[in-house]
Amino acid sequence: MRRLLVPILCTCAIMAGLAADQLRRPAARDVDAYHERVRAAVMSLPTEFGNWRSREESIPPQAMELLRPNALFGRTFFNDDGKGGTVYVIQSRDVRDLRGHYPPVCYPAHGWQEGQYSQPQTITVTDSHGTMHIPIRRYEFVRQNMNQQIRLVTYCFFVLPEQPLTWDMQAVYKAAGSPTVRHLGAAQVQLAMRMGTPVQDEPALLTELLRPVLPAVREILNQSRAADTTGPHAGPAGPITPAPAQGVAR
């Protein structure tokens, strides 16, 4: 009898573990409803706010096939002062679709050479619903055009449900390997500065152009059981000083 008891207990423990895992996973209809909410939030992001106007930016077909976005927002914002930047928000239904799709891979694949990568930092962005601390990383790339060297600067972070915001692709890989969260999808937010933007102008532009994105970020984090945005993947505060809020995007 004792010989039979051990395997029976082991089997029960395994079955209990599988049942608990299934309970942790939301039903398919809940996931579909969640992705619809996220898509609506991304698609309703403002195309104009304050003194900013914008034009739509497209994504190359090859990237669309790989990313299979559930929601996509790509706009170049500009104002009468000659300032500007391009904001991309790409949310995929499966975390695995975002693996490897970030500046150090994508830009060199299109002819850009790696320039200087700054240390990760945490910026603070505030809107009418509160303040969000965003770990983000700055990437710089260069390309030779005739006798002129062109410099491109972009900032990037990821939004993963049930995890803190992060700049780190390793967190995306980890989420992609988890069957309990990968079906909740992930989003990448990029802000490419207008070419020729002085370095000292980047902090104010970064906070001003990311402010309208916060509602979509919050909608993704709403799936999280702990929407903490200052977790272990948040880099130490770097040289960027957050600009004070100047109005709220609507």
Q: Is the pLDDT of residue 220 over 90?
A: no
Q: Residue 243 domain-assigned?
A: no
pLDDT digits (tens, 9 = 90+) for 145-196: 777 888 899 999 999 977 889 999 999 999 999 888 889 999 999 999 998 8
Q: Residue 234 domain-assigned?
A: no
CA–CA–CA angle 58, 161, 165 (5° rounding)? 75
Please tell me the predicted confidence (pLDDT) of residue 155. Answer: 95
**pTM for this prediction:** 0.76
DSSP H or E run through 75:
strand 69-78
Q: Residue 52 domain-assigned?
A: yes
β partners of residue 138: 155
Please tell me the predicted confidence (pLDDT) of residue 5. Answer: 43
| 89-102 average pLDDT score | 88
Number of domains in the chain: 1
Q: What span, in angstroms and rounded, lies between the C-alpha atoms of 5 and 204? A: 67
Q: Residue 250 domain-assigned?
A: no
Q: Residue 20 domain-assigned?
A: no
CB-neighbour burial class of residue 118 (10 A; exposed 0-12, middle 13-18, buried 19+): middle
* Domain range enclosing 36: 26-221
